[in-house]
Structure 1
Amino acid sequence: MKIKCVAIDDEPLALELLTKFIQQTAFLDLVGKFSNAIEALGFINQNEVQLVFMDIQMPDLSGMELARILDGKKNSDKTRIIFCTAYHQFAIEGYKVDALDYLLKPYSYEDFLNAATKAYQYFDRILNQESTKPALESSTQPEYIFLKVEYQLVKVMLRDITHVEAYKDYVKVHLKSKPNPVLSLTSMKNMEELLPSDKFMRVHRSFIVALDHIDSVTKNVIQIGNQQIAVGDNYKDQFLEFLSRWIS
């Protein structure tokens, strides 16, 4: 699988480095590079672009403004963003528009590759969900995810996650192997997309649960270890449908 991507940065040297990193990554296909976000937007509107690597502070149209435009489109799940910027104070804003990742300049190729791999895992999962071959889906499903924790990416095994809890602009990822949750700067929407739907289910605006870790269900309350999680009204039908398949 090749991911069609564009690079946007008004600084020539930064754009040159970003282009170089994309071209040396086997699963990325560079279909355009731009020093102006307005020109990039016109190209994205006319062509298939899955992934956008871009700076935030640019003249005329900033990267954050372009991200909000793309996030408002009907196919926003088809075009995702990785920010590349020298300003860490934009991190929270970046995750509010569901950016896949946030590269802080100057970044190494290893940093870039970690972010690009996260994008690959996301699009691979989308492709599998659209596939009509369940066997293929299960064979290609990743066993882990990478979470942005402060200024590093932390590898977390899917089987270790018991539930995910919203916490302001962050999420708390509770693990079976650790007493304290991992705090990651991302959104519940992004976590819902990142986690495989056959193993995890959103049951509340503030909670995603690992189905294999559910100990018991009483009325509309899920018990996972010592944690009780109420099933939200908007999620009851989906959860009851799941339960009906297991109740004899």
Structure 2
Amino acid sequence: MKLNCAILHQDAGLQDQLMKYIEKVPFLCCCGAYNNALEALKAYYEKKVEVYFIGIGTVKEGEIDGRDFCKLLDLYTRVIFIADTDRYAAECFRLDALDYLVEGPDFATFFQAVSKASRWFSARENGNLGEEKSAVSKVDVPKVIYIRADNRILRLELDCIDYIESCGDYVKVYYRDMSKPILSLCSMKYMEERLPVDRFIRVHRSYIVRMDSVSIVEDNSVIVGEKSLPIGASYRKRVKDYVSRLMFL
């Protein structure tokens, strides 16, 4: 298993050190290194980053701190914090950090941290996360998603998303009570991977719908509000499985 990783740290020297370490680990692939949280977040939505190395330290006024940046990431992105002191450790582990390294870690310490990530993703892939998986599914089920649109980061309530439409390199998010859809630079695959599977279903290569927003299921389409969305041939089985779980009178 190859894990995509990225770095957010203001120290260029430490970035270089981490990238050299990453090159030595066969199951890691570096997708980028950033010193600005907004640039890092934009790239995060364009790439599938599974492990993020995030620095904690003094930031300029108006910039996003590493701990706040962590809160914007998807639930299944594992975070390894790096700081020049251990005083933030307790707070970072409350943010469900995978590990916490003091600046200038040697390769052995780094390898121990990324090995935890490898084991975590292997367990997830094999459906064997045990108590951690149970905690994610029962307690930490996401209620919001963050997307970048018009040079802003928007916090969207999942309950208010009706459906999502593919638009080339962009997606359109149809959000309740908004007159126009929200246009964001990311792929349908990315959206599908980030949305909870028990609440959203892909019915077509161009459409993902929130299950609770569907009012009618027809042979070849689903109705969301006044909009009829087609059911693609390759997605028909998953729609059929969804319908089979419904209670009929």
TM-score by length of 1: 0.61
Q: Distance in 1 between matches of 2:151 and 2:61?
A: 11
Match of 2:12 in 1: 15
Q: Which moved more, 1:195-204 or 1:108-117?
A: 108-117
Match of 2:209 in 1: 209
Q: Which moved more, 1:110-119 or 1:215-224?
A: 110-119
Change (3 A) 1:107 1:122: farther
Match of 1:180 in 2: 180
Match of 1:146 in 2: 146
Match of 1:110 in 2: 64
Q: 1:222, 1:231 within 8 Å by CA — same for their partners in 2?
A: yes
Matched, 1:119 2:69: no
Matched, 1:42 2:39: no
Change (3 A) 1:139 1:174: same
| CA drift at 1:226 | 1.1
Match of 1:68 in 2: none
One-letter identity of the residue aligned with 2:16: F
Q: Distance in 2 between matches of 1:113 and 1:52?
A: 20
SS of the residue corresponding to residue 146 of structure 1 reads strand
Q: 1:98, 1:187 within 8 Å by CA — same for their partners in 2?
A: no
- 5+ residue gaps, structure 1, are 20-32, 57-81, 86-90
Q: Distance in 1 between matches of 2:48 and 2:77?
A: 15
Matched, 1:54 2:36: no
SS of the residue corresponding to residue 237 of structure 1 reads helix
Q: 2:145, 2:158 within 8 Å by CA — same for their partners in 1?
A: yes
- Would you say how many aligned residue pairs link Structure 1 and Structure 2? 188
Match of 1:223 in 2: 223
Q: Which moved more, 1:111-120 or 1:151-160?
A: 111-120
Q: Distance in 2 between matches of 1:146 and 1:140?
A: 16
Q: Distance in 1 between matches of 2:180 and 2:11?
A: 38
Q: 2:31, 2:49 within 8 Å by CA — same for their partners in 1?
A: no
Match of 1:160 in 2: 160
Match of 1:63 in 2: none
| CA drift at 1:121 | 2.2
Q: 2:74, 2:194 within 8 Å by CA — same for their partners in 1?
A: no
Q: 1:7, 1:15 within 8 Å by CA — same for their partners in 2?
A: no
Q: Distance in 2 between matches of 1:244 and 1:144?
A: 27
- 5+ residue gaps, structure 2, are 53-59, 79-120
Match of 1:245 in 2: 245
Q: 1:204, 1:230 within 8 Å by CA — same for their partners in 2?
A: yes
Residues 44-83 of structure 1 mapped to structure 2, 5 A cutoff: 44-45=25-26, 54-55=33-34
Decide which structure has the larger Cα Rg and report it: 2
Q: Distance in 2 between matches of 1:108 and 1:121?
A: 25
One-letter identity of the residue aligned with 1:110: I
SS of the residue corresponding to residue 121 of structure 1 reads coil
Q: Percent identity?
A: 23
Change (3 A) 1:168 1:245: same
